[in-house]
Chains A and B, each alone.
Chain A
């Protein structure tokens, strides 16, 4: 089920939460929404499920305008809010039974067991939710969202606060849902590696504006530039002269890092005098580099923590 946002605006007093982002989420894809705190991700999701109304613009879910047909949209969307909670005195199975019956399913449906099994809560299904860990609570929320096999699954920071094992479990479930069904999955996250792993396409929000959108590869190519890391064999000055005016040059721990276009990086690797370098690495741009560039409008700071070596060479 395709989702389209068009010029969506939302203000809370003087604060602009969303400033006209427009993008399309293809049917059956897994789509990531990236952004810093306050970028507008949660506001976008709340508008998407009809919790709130946009001041301007439209959100269309499978041909339905969310503002005019919020009820019908919620029939088609499974939503895991960022802050969700269940009454502690209910058991996991009871929570799912309530969700099922409100959605018009049988409260003892086999689907409840399937979902409990899918999220790994079958053994804890009859325990009270107050005894659940944070990760179990999030998985129960995911089970509730999946219960009616919705064509659209919206997950707002689904792995926030989970331990590494919980994150891995969650990733596995989302990947399985994406693989085994035509569900359109929309998720937000602060964890770029998570988005890189799970998502086909990404939108980057900053201060409510859409700064970039496309596949992870496209964003890397468009916004992230590779970095050539040179390890001087001796005097640094000749090497710096050889680098010339290519890209952005930084010196860190005796290394010289040159962030430039792919073509310039290739040329630099070919042209640099092997006598001047002990070895060199070319680090491919990661999504984090693309993210930083998209929200700052250019390369700021260093990308060293974001990048990983793609090519390595030894001069001698």
Chain B
């Protein structure tokens, strides 16, 4: 006699029979739990493990210190006047800082998420368990995402607290919007790093790829796009597509839009003028998170250990 299994195969006679509690009893009295935890439970276990490892390796503290040091330094020494305009200028300066710093830190934090775990042998151990590989990748991303988001909120939040003390609560909402945008930027680059890590065969390759990604999105993309726009005067749709194809551009447009000031020159100013709503920009940034993670989850299935 056979019974259907979860993957469409059959559970044979000597394979045992399901238990009422969802467990699995073999013909030899073996108890093997419920075979595997529910997908949500497995995801939570992998994410929690990744979070715990990041905290214990002091990544969480290091990230927070880096963000706080730069943000507080810029806030303290930017010489802002005690006025709403001064507040906006400081946030615009923080946005420029975030564009350079946050992607670099996120890529450095995420490039070894998969390939590093493989080199240490941990991935081998996890893949031998009845857990889908996509769950391992998604869990790894989520665990690190929590650490990174918390570090951004605390690090840049300290600078926000300093600003509120200087300028009062008038710009509080703006700063919260900025903070959320920085979190989105960080998570999008973490997602890209995890995708790179899922396809890289060695950690050094993933690191090299991460640096190239940073250089492309932070240094090259906007310059190239501005050059293309100046040279070919493409359609508005093409310009929008060009603008949205860079998460840092989306981030700058989000922040500039909320500030209502062209404190940042360059491509983001064009994006602001393109008239994309905050909601559309937020969706674009979310896609920059979801698509790389989905790609990583798909590509990991082909990975040979």
Contact = CB atoms under 8 A, between A and B. Distances in A.
Given A1-B26, A101-B37, A105-B33, A89 B53 contact: yes
B7 A63 contact: no
B124 A75 contact: no
Interface in A49-75: 49, 51-52, 62-65, 68-72, 74-75
Given A79-B128, A85-B120, A86-B125, A149 B12 contact: no
A148 B32 contact: yes
Size class of the A contact interface (CB-based, 8 Å): 35 or more
B124 to A, nearest CB: 5
B229 interface: no
B28 interface: yes
Interface in A69-96: 69-72, 74-77, 79, 81, 83-87, 89-90
Nearest to B2: A63
A46 interface: yes
B305 A102 contact: no
Contact of B128 (A51, A68, A149): A51
Nearest to A1: B14
B20 interface: no
Interface in A191-224: none
Contacts of B45: 98, 101-102
B41 interface: yes
A75 B35 contact: yes
A51 B300 CA distance: 11
Contact of A84 (B42, B125, B130): B125
Given A72-B35, A148-B32, A150-B30, A64 B9 contact: yes
Contacts of A182: 28-30
B73 to A, nearest CB: 31
Contacts of B11: 63-64, 72
Given A51-B305, A75-B130, 8 more contacts: A64-B11, A71-B130, A72-B11, A76-B32, A79-B128, A90-B49, A144-B125, A151-B30
Interface of A: 1-2, 27-28, 46, 49, 51-52, 62-65, 68-72, 74-77, 79, 81, 83-87, 89-90, 98-105, 141, 144-145, 148-151, 181-183
23 contacts: A51-B305, A62-B14, A63-B12, A69-B8, A69-B9, A72-B11, A74-B129, A75-B24, A81-B124, A84-B121, A85-B121, A85-B124, A86-B125, A87-B120, A89-B57, A102-B126, A102-B130, A104-B22, A104-B33, A104-B34, A141-B125, A151-B28, A183-B30
